[in-house]
Structure 1
Amino acid sequence: MTDRIALFPGSFDPFTKGHEDIVLRGLNLFDQIIVGIGHNSNKKRYFSLEAMQGLIEKTFEAFPQVSVVTYDDLTANMARSLGARFLVRGLRNTTDFEYENSISQVNRHVYPDVETVFLITSPHLAPISSTIIRELHKYGHNVDEYLPYQLSEVTI
């Protein structure tokens, strides 16, 4: 039997407790989860790729079945190159579903052997989004309660 490898793609700018929850719950379904920090040429990052990669690696240092990569390619191509047959995505609401459903169809077109698995965000984490956290942080609000690490470790 082959390993069930899942890629959890996103910009993770920043990686939140909601993202952490999806990874930890995904470990009940998959043998290995690769957190893939994608480069989006249409977005300017708030936190550097390198800093976020280090923070996510530290978050999961007790979980050898979780690894972190950065990539600048189509998610489906990255999944194929990593041997991942699954993409895991978190859904907070119906708006997320509409967006993610379209992307999953395109990924399946590019890589027919990939399946997207949607996990519903745990209710207490559903209000958290990277966009909101960036905005709060930009204006000096402490956002540590939303993150599985301390932002004091990051240089912006």
Structure 2
Amino acid sequence: MSENRRAIYPGTFDPITNGHIDIISRASHMFDEIIVAVADSEAKKPMFTLEQRINMVKAATKDFPTVKVIGFRGLLVDLSDELEANIIVRGLRAVSDFEYELQMGYANASLKKELETVYLMPSLEHAFVSSSVVRSILNFDGKIGHLVPAEAFKLIKCVL
């Protein structure tokens, strides 16, 4: 019998975007289970609370039967041990993402050599979408409905 291929897709998801959903969709075809791990990440001073972000991700991924959503604090390598998952999924939009993600991948591998990082590029239509772009638009009451999943958009409207 083959081993369950479980992958972790970590991030702050502040808020979750259509680009994130694109990566989750792609990864769900590659792995048996995707655990979307929403980082507490107080250092980044998120716009939304951890609970709000978890709820947004859960709502946006409700139609993905192999996706589980959790919140976490601490090191990703510790979470991977806890979840018995040695694959990390990360999205790359641009060259600027690559440099940061490469450093993080190497740092994680230095802490746990069995940990593999898989990098996925979003579809071209989502390549410019980031949580920080969405937050910037929100700060000026701009329209974000085309950038975030409809389920998350409903929750964002309730919060703001």
TM score, norm. by length of structure 2: 0.93
Shift of 1:44: 1.1
> In structure 2, what is the Cα distance between the partners aligned to 1:153 and 1:102?
34
Could you tell me which residue of structure 1 aligns to residue 136 of structure 2?
135
Match for residue 10 of structure 2? 9
How big is each residue's C-alpha offset from its partner over 1:51-77, in whole Å with a ceiling of 9 and x where there is no partner?
121121122222221011111111111
Partner of 2:58: 57
Letter aligned with residue 51 of structure 2: E
Q: Shift of the alpha carbon at 1:34?
A: 0.5
Contact 1:89 / 1:116 at 8 angstroms: preserved in 2? yes
Contact 1:80 1:111 in 2 (8 A): no
- CA deviations on 1:13-71 (whole Å, 9 max, x unpaired) are 01100000000000111000000111223121101111121121122222221011111
Question: In the comparison of the two structures, how many residue pairs are matched?
Answer: 156
**Runs of at least 5 residues in structure 2 that lack an aligned partner in the other structure:** none
1:105 maps to amino acid: Y
Residue 26 (1) aligns with residue 21 (2): no
The aligned residue for residue 153 of structure 1 is 155
Residues 3 and 131 (structure 1 numbering): CA distance in 2 closer, same or farther, change over 3 Å? same
1:48 aligns with 2:49: yes
CA drift of 1:110 comes to: 1.3
- Could you say what secondary structure the match of 1:42 adopts? helix
- Root-mean-square deviation (CA, aligned residues, Å) is 1.2
Aligned-residue offset at 1:152: 3.7
TM-score between both structures, scaled by the size of structure 1: 0.95
Q: Which runs of 5+ in 1 are unaligned?
A: none
CA contact under 8 A between 1:77 and 1:111: conserved in structure 2? no
